[in-house]
Amino acid sequence: MERIHTHNIAIGEEKFPFRFSIISYMKYFDLTGKEATTIKTTEDAINYFYCAYKSGCDYEKQEIKLQLEDWLNLVDDYPECLEVITKRFESSVKKK
């Protein structure tokens, strides 16, 4: 069984840790009240990726620099980051 690892993804001038894990699913539920298996919209994906970012920070023992509104502003400034994060997420899911 392959272990889950953290993806350090560059957005703008910084790299951010993302961890696609059970904890990120739980954080998504806490944030939205929805199961992660119900992610269907861009809004859902953006919220899940924020939870994966928080999970990555926690795992790597890094400060969570972005609050939800900061994350949304970052996505507004760098919308192409969603495609990169999506590809990393999909590759993580396929490996399991």
Residue 95 has pLDDT above 70, yes or no: no
What's this model's pTM, rounded to 2 decimal places?
0.90
Q: What is the pLDDT of residues 1-50, one digit of tens each?
A: 567 889 999 999 999 999 999 999 999 999 999 998 889 999 999 999 99
Cβ neighbors of 12 (< 8 A, separation 6 or more) are: 74, 77, 78
Residue of 94 and 53 predicted with greater confidence: 53
Work out the end-to-end distance of the chain between its first and last CA atoms, rounded to an integer number of angstroms. 7
Instruction: Report how far residue 17's alpha carbon sits from residue 91's, in angstroms, rounded to the nearest whole number.
Output: 16
Give residue 12's region: left, alpha or beta (phi > 0; psi -120 to 50): left
